[in-house]
Chains A and B, each alone.
Chain A
Amino acid sequence: MKSIVKYLALLTVTIFLFAGCAKEPTEEINAAKTAVTSAVSGDAEKYVPEDTKNVNSAMQAAEDELKVQKDKLFKDYAKAKELLAKAKADAEALQANLATKMEEAKNNATAAQDAAKASIEEAKGLLENAPKGKGSMADIEALKADLKGAEDSLAEVQTAIDSKDYSGAAEKANAIKEKATGIADQVKAAMEKVGKKK
């Protein structure tokens, strides 16, 4: 009889060991949540959308696993911990990657802005020195208006940079540069023509 009681006690202890000893990994949950919250942002969704989605999915998978274990009689949080660690690592990698990507994009935008400015200045200089005869007045006026329009658009590049829309800024700056270069080429061609006539 004593033995029966002994074995039953062993069985109960074993069951409780399985069922009760596994506690929710609060520390890991909080660490992963903090990492994910600080990594996932509007900028992240814009610059590294796939990575952001992956981080969200990783966190969701960890939370799903936590839910599974929470409702289980015999809890085992080993997999959940693994998934939480993965979500945290992914979030940290995302944050690092985002910073690099944004810096890269910002540098691209600034370089494109500088190039556009330089092209406008070049075209301006050429227009200043363009032959100012009656024959070229119409063309010069039209080109000056073109250049003014392109120069005005430069302000939008800065606005885009300020709002962290670096790809949009670079795109606009490249378009402006293209137009300014076109204007400069037209002035050069006109100057060559005049030069030949002389």
Chain B
Amino acid sequence: MTLITKNTAIKILILSSLSIFLTACKDKQIPLELKMVEKQEVNLWKSGAKIYVPSEYNQYITSINKTKESLIKEKSRFAWFQDYENVQSELKNVLATGCSLENIISDKKKIKNERIFEEISFAKNRIETIKDLTEMINEGRLARKDLIKAEILLSEAVSRYNNHDYDTAEQKLNNLSEYIKSSENAILPILNRYADRSHIRKWQEMVDETIAESKAKGIPAIIVNKSERTLKVYKSGVPVWTYNVGIGRNGSLDKMHAGDNSTPEGKYKIIQKKPESRYHKALLLNYPNEEDRKNFIIAKKKGLIPAKARIGGLIEIHGGGKNSMTYGCIAMDNNKIDHIFNIVPVGTLVTIVGAVDYNNKLSSAIEGL
């Protein structure tokens, strides 16, 4: 009896040890914060933490990994000895760090959003300004090609901006600024003349002399202002009619040689009236005058124009429409040339200048760049 009791007691002891042992295999519940951290990490990743707070995000990930290591260590323990208190506290710290990162990212995104928006508006305005200028000076060939590339990049930047991809939008904006610069470089040499005070002073003197001669001799005179695209008819020094005109394809530049499509600047005279012209009616000017010939020789010597270039001629004020783009002539509407044709005789002074005001259309436009 004593033996049975002893055996039974041992059996019970071993079985209960085994059952306690097996019970002990059941892990304790891991902290709920783990799921929250995992969710937070995904949200941070989605919000672009790698871009906005790269080093902070890396530290945050390192903290998560360290905490997970601690978790793994605890999970590996015999269930009796598992204690997640420290892990839980670490997870809470990670959550707090993640929260502050979320706020930083949100602030940075807001700032970047505003900055990119401003950059887009700035680029848009610059493109529009240059586009207007190219139209003003008929310089569509060199500047516009790059300008359209800038416009294409701007469209892409806007699209990325709308998709909150500020980084790519910024990259596109950086790329487009090169094209804008190149467009500007194509038109600035033309425009700078209109902001050059010594040039304008020279033009003013020419105009003043012409008006004075018209007044002194009681004769008509014509002043063509290239920046304003106007032709003014003076009678005895008094302006009586103003018309809009078109000028050469490269009309904003001074004519240097045949075929450059520029409109000459200087003091000329009408040397022939052509009642029947290809462009309705025409008034032929004495281009090249003496100064033009001198300038032509100097430019050739300096290599500023092709060695085989000729000086050219046949510069007229003719009809065909004020919106025309000529080979260097001054074009006006047919009914307007009809009028002028009747009132100005051969020998009438015609002075062609770039501008007469320091604040002319083109110099003001440069300020907009």
Residues in chain A within 8 A of chain B (CB atoms): 3-4, 7-8, 10-11, 14-15, 18, 50, 53, 57, 64, 67-74, 133-135, 137-139, 141-150, 152-153, 168, 171-172, 174-176, 178-179
Contact = CB atoms under 8 A, between A and B. Distances in A.
Interface in B143-170: 143-149, 151-153, 155-156, 159-160
Contacts of A71: 72-73, 76
B42 interface: yes
A108 to B, nearest CB: 14
Contacts of B359: none
Contact of A72 (B11, B76, B141): B76
B324 interface: yes
Interface stretch (B132-140, B206-214, B267-275): B132-140
Given A11-B17, A175-B152, A149 B144 contact: yes
B152 A137 contact: no
Contacts of B14: 7-8, 10-11
B115 to A, nearest CB: 21
Nearest to B331: A134
B78 interface: yes
Contact of A135 (B11, B152, B323): B323
Nearest 9 A/B pairs, CB to CB = A142-B140, A149-B148, A71-B76, A145-B144, A175-B155, A138-B325, A134-B324, A149-B145, A68-B75
Contacts of A147: 148
Contact of B145 (A11, A57, A145, A174): A145
B249 interface: yes
A198 B156 CA distance: 41
Contacts of B153: 175
B111 interface: no
A179 B156 contact: no
Given A11-B18, A142-B134, A142-B144, A134 B326 contact: yes
Contacts of B142: 145
Q: Which residue, A8, A70, A74, has most C-beta atoms of chain B within 10 A? A: A74
B321 interface: yes
Contacts of A14: 18
Given A142-B135, A175-B155, A175-B159, 20 more contacts: A3-B11, A53-B42, A57-B38, A64-B71, A68-B75, A70-B76, A135-B246, A135-B320, A135-B324, A135-B325, A138-B325, A142-B140, A149-B149, A149-B152, A150-B149, A150-B152, A153-B152, A171-B159, A172-B156, A175-B153
A134 B146 CA distance: 25
Contacts of B135: 138, 142
Given A8-B14, A142-B135, A148 B72 contact: no
A11 to B, nearest CB: 6
B325 to A, nearest CB: 4
A145 B151 contact: no
Contact of B25 (A53, A70, A74, A143): A74
B321 A135 contact: yes
A168 B343 CA distance: 63
Q: Which residue, B21, B148, B149, B249, has most C-beta atoms of chain A within 10 A? A: B148
B30 to A, nearest CB: 10
Interface in B239-264: 246, 249
A116 B247 CA distance: 35
B17 A146 contact: no
A156 to B, nearest CB: 9
A176 B155 CA distance: 9
B125 interface: no
B185 interface: no
Contacts of A168: 156
Interface string B72-94: 11011010000000000000000
Contacts of A175: 151-153, 155-156, 159
